[in-house]
Amino acid sequence: MQHSAQIAPGVWWLGVNDRRKELFENIWPLLRGVSYNSYLIDDRKSALLDTLEEGSDGSYIERIEQLLGDRKELDYLIVNHMELDHAGQIEAVLRRWPEARVVGNAQTLKILSAYYGERATARFLQVADGEVIDLGRRKLQFFLTPWLHWPETMMTYETTEKILFPADAFGTFGTIDGVLVDPAFSKYEEEMRRYYSNIVGKYSLMVQKALAKLAGLPIDTLCSLHGPVWKRHASEVIGLYDRLSRYEGEAGVMIAYASMYDNTARLADHIALQLTESGVNEIVVHDVSKTHLSHILSDAWRYRGVMLGSCAYNSGMFPLMESLCRELKNSSLKARALGLFGGYSFNGGGVRSLLKWAEEMPWEQVGQAVELHGRPTSEKLAAADALCAAMAAAISKK
Ligand code: FEO
């Protein structure tokens, strides 16, 4: 049976690691896996906070039974989030404890009904923002924090131990490797940024609204639905989410390029080298044909400077660059300095399409786009140097 762990008196983690799944949401690579977390509070009344992905743990019901003991029924199933990596075992829980009240908000009810029908909605207890449920010694207070990243998302606050159960917020990719509570933050920081940029970033405005709502609430423990339980490092986790949702970037440049015969690639490398000459110390270069856009998005959220280069492809930009551009736009990332370059081939289209895309982005385009006609010439390289100088100046003033 999967191990369960006590994280505070009467509060249990019933999570599970998934190292088998290749793609989270069938799109984002899981290089270091992911955990799905569920929690149980055992008081005079008992509450299960979210469930697990269906099939992720065959012993889940048994684990809950073991913690509750023979004398106890499950009183509440709190649904902070309805995405199926957490709501996947609602049916199994309600089959075992049909009298449990399912707790959520008005938006929860709609999605719950769509996935599970009357079996789940018949015992639904709708809560409003700030409403409290008394478990006996403890109270649970609910904060409606919609669109993190689904419309029904809410957070539950346990008032005695000051534990926040924030659904996906403050979550991260990466399994829990032995240390459930407070592993080194640095071990998860990169995967947390990737998780944020891939899953939550589009809703950064709502993250800021949620943080404002939580301001002043003492939080001793953060129990997200993905990743470790944070106590001592909770402020670092909240700080990273705060900076990302304000679109703060580090003083560096992410270069992503698309190239068929390496001319645009050579220009990308020249630009990377020249950026260091211009005083930029943090630079990362991605070939869109090699690196999954998950990582490219994450680095775009990390650095203040973004430089994109595309060869021409059927008189447009390279398809994988087009895909990256669509996702960058879709992610709603703001406050970036943008530099463009590429190759004309026989009819252009790469740089032309990038320039057109840039018009619709809320970013500052710096310098003049550099477009190769054939191989890089000294004249084009000099233009690239000027572009690098403009980029270095732009990221240093932010
Ligand atoms: Fe981890 Fe939005 O589900």
Among protein residues, the one whose CA lies closest to atom 3 of ligand 1: 83
User: Which residue bears the tokens 């995405």?
Assistant: 83
User: Which numbered atom of ligand 1 lies nearest the CA of 199?
Assistant: 2
Contact 297, 198 (CB under 8 A): yes
Ligand 1 atom closest to Cα of 36? 1
pLDDT of residue 55: 92
Ligand 1 contact via 168 beta carbon (within 6 Å): yes
State which ligand 1 atom lies nearest to the alpha carbon of 171. Answer: 1
Which range (71-80, 139-148, 241-250) has the least confidence?
A: 71-80
Torsion of CA 82, 87, 93, 98, to 10 degrees: 20
- Residue 307 Cα to ligand 1 midpoint, Å, equals 31
Q: Is 88 in the pocket of ligand 1 (CB under 6 A)?
A: no
Please tell me the predicted confidence (pLDDT) of residue 280.
Answer: 98
DSSP 222-284: E--SSS-BBSTTHHHHHHHHHHHHTT--EEEEEEEEE-SSSHHHHHHHHHHHHHHHTT--EEE
Model confidence over 85-130: pLDDT tens digits?
A: 999 999 999 999 999 999 999 999 999 999 999 989 999 999 999 9
What pLDDT score was predicted for residue 81?
A: 98
Whether the per-residue pLDDT at 300 is higher than 90: the answer is yes
Q: Is the minimum distance from the CB of 86 to ligand 1 under 6 angstroms? A: yes
What's the 49 CA to ligand 1 centre distance in angstroms?
Answer: 14
Cα of 40 vs centre of ligand 1, distance in Å, is: 18
73 Cα–ligand 1 center, Å: 27
Confidence label for 70 from pLDDT (cuts 50, 70 and 90): confident
Ramachandran angles phi, psi of 181, nearest 5°: -105, 125
User: Which atom of ligand 1 lies at the shortest distance from residue 84's CA?
Assistant: 3
- Determine whether the shortest distance from the Cβ of 40 to ligand 1 is under 6 A: no
Q: Nearest residue CA, atom 2 of ligand 1?
A: 83
Distance 168 CA to ligand 1 centre (A): 5
Cβ count near 171 (within 10 Å)? 27
pLDDT score, position 398:
57
Which atom of ligand 1 is nearest to 150's Cα? 2
Atom in ligand 1 nearest the alpha carbon of residue 167 = 1
Q: Indicate the pLDDT class of residue 385, thresholds 50, 70 and 90.
A: very high
Ligand 1 within 6 A of 267 CB?
no
Q: How far is the CA of 378 from the centre of ligand 1 (A)?
A: 50
Q: Is 225 in the pocket of ligand 1 (CB under 6 A)?
A: yes
pTM, two decimal places: 0.97
How confident is the model over 182-216, as pLDDT tens digits? Answer: 999 999 999 999 999 999 999 999 999 999 999 99
Ligand 1 centroid distance, CA of 24 (Å): 10
Within 8 A by CB and 6+ apart from 288, the residues are: 256, 257, 258, 296, 318, 320, 321, 323, 324
Nearest atom, ligand 1, residue 149 CA: 2
How high is the pLDDT of residue 1?
83
Q: Express the helix, strand and coil content of the chain in percent, nearest 5 each.
A: 35, 25, 40
Residue 81 beta carbon below 6 angstroms from any ligand 1 atom: yes
State the closest ligand 1 atom to the C-alpha of 225, by its place in the atom list counted from 1: 1
What pLDDT score does 72 carry? Answer: 77
Query: For ligand 1, is residue 83 a contact (CB within 6 Å)?
Result: yes
Ligand 1: does its nearest atom lie under 6 Å from the Cβ of 85?
A: yes
Q: Is the CB of 380 under 6 A from ligand 1?
A: no
